[in-house]
Chains A and B, each alone.
Chain A
């Protein structure tokens, strides 16, 4: 039986076997979780329950309920001074995952090149390939805080790329961009006439400075697809609700694909999202403060035990180097799991540029973090004496 060559061609998520190992083990302290450890704030859950009681169980407009698009529009204006027309420039999607896929499908023709800074979120490259495009990775380095600048874009412009994907703040490295750094990137984006796909799902989790959405930069709005959602900021991962904003022409195409594949995002999740935007600010602030404390705790702990770690400025990940152990990321993660029952994600899950690093999620209780770090300390002692 011949199946889709394109689908067969995309790399399997390389660390599936490692994941299965983790999932099959009991009493593991997991620092491998890519979602908040908070549950969705009660007011949001309650609003969803109420909407069900009231009988909101139908389809909505393809683009998402107009009221929700209006709320999103107001929120972006109020929070960032970013203006999108709820009628034509906002599309409510099933998480940023769907929005991201739609953006690529609306943009990419076979053999189009797409620049992806690496380490990157796993699905970017594969989804580009599914659209027939070619991902071109830009390797980022710990010395630069795992960030790209205009220079790297210029260096990769020879292949005439069509688009750039930026994840700010970044999963897995926690890198977040300051306005000045974004301006530098914007210059190169304009120079090479790139379309920007800006995945800003972690934007509310920026700890050292105010987050600047990429489309806020001069002349960038017309060439940016802005992606955001509710998963990380309001602890709503399981609701699968996000949105895309961008120029009408692109949003029309994305909406066309969306209405064939999804129809509309689930109405219950849309109702919950409305409440999150309306009354969620307090919960967001509390979570942000809590994450920030844990970040300091984890970074100090990792550096104490000799795993050097740049300071992540956003998201809830630390991405320390494990090179001094002489182990590959995968071997380190496997051995740590077997010996000390601590789960982390090998850096290579996020592309070859992640080799020599592990991703540690601090979306976990302080007690867990503390215990995990002391186990890692013991693990490292064993490693160093055997070396």
Chain B
């Protein structure tokens, strides 16, 4: 992968000036490259990773993994149905996968009840949805490469030869 993308994927706040220093480029060239990648849609947006379990004021919410078995639509395959599903704001991720079911849908809701009613009222009744199986997430340990806890302190001696 392009090194600028590699750096930004790890730290979205890395400035063009810093990246330029790291890669021996000019800040202008870095900015241009980033713009280009944004235009191409390779860089979609810059987000912050939150550890929501630590947000106490509003009970974080619940997440569920839902396995969905579907009948693919003629000519449109799975994409048609996937799109109808992922448009719901409750859906945080949606994948087409191989194996015993077809779509893996991750749904986020305020509580168990909201997720359950999403499944019962929105997802299951959909035409071509043959069945669902819902798994609630009890605890998140790691998400997209990030371990959800404070990084550990540097254990090294402050100075050594």
Give the B-binding residues of A (Cβ under 8 A): 13, 19, 22-23, 25, 28, 30, 32-35, 37, 121-122, 171, 289, 293-294, 296-297, 300-301, 343, 345, 349, 366, 370
Measured as residues with beta carbon below 8 angstroms from the partner, the interface class of chain B is 10 to 19
Contact at A345–B18, with CB atoms within 8 Å?
Answer: no
Query: Chain A residues with Cβ under 8 A from B23's Cβ?
Result: 293, 296
6 A-B contacts (beta carbon < 8 Å): A19-B159, A32-B158, A33-B160, A171-B161, A296-B22, A343-B158
Partner of A28, one of B11, B21, B22, B158: B158
Interface residue ranges of B6-60 to A (CB < 8 Å)? 7, 11, 14, 18, 21-24
Min CB gap B33→A, angstroms: 15
Taking CB atoms, residues of chain A closer than 8 Å to B154 are 37
Interface pairs A-B: 4 shortest CB-CB: A32-B159, A293-B22, A300-B21, A30-B158
B156 located at the interface, meaning its Cβ lies under 8 Å from any Cβ of chain A in the complex: yes
The majority secondary structure among interface residues of chain B is loop
Q: Bound complex: CA of A121 vs CA of B160, how far in Å?
A: 11
Residues of B participating in the A interface, judged by any CB pair closer than 8 Å: 3, 7, 11, 14, 18, 21-24, 154, 156-161
A122 to B161, CA, bound (A): 7
Q: A23-B159, A28-B158, A301-B21 are in contact. List 11 more A-B contacts (CB 8 A).
A: A22-B158, A32-B159, A32-B160, A33-B156, A33-B158, A293-B3, A293-B7, A294-B22, A297-B22, A343-B159, A366-B22
Tell me how far the C-beta of A234 lies from the nearest C-beta in chain B, rounded to whole angstroms.
Answer: 16
Is the CB–CB distance between B159 and A345 below 8 Å? yes
- For B6, the closest partner residue in chain A by CB is A289
> Chain A contacts of B22 at CB under 8 A?
293-294, 296-297, 366
Give the distance in Å from the alpha carbon of A22 to the alpha carbon of B161 in the complex.
13
B157 contact set on A, CB distance < 8 A: 23, 33
Contacts of B158 in A (CB 8 A): 22-23, 25, 28, 30, 32-33, 343
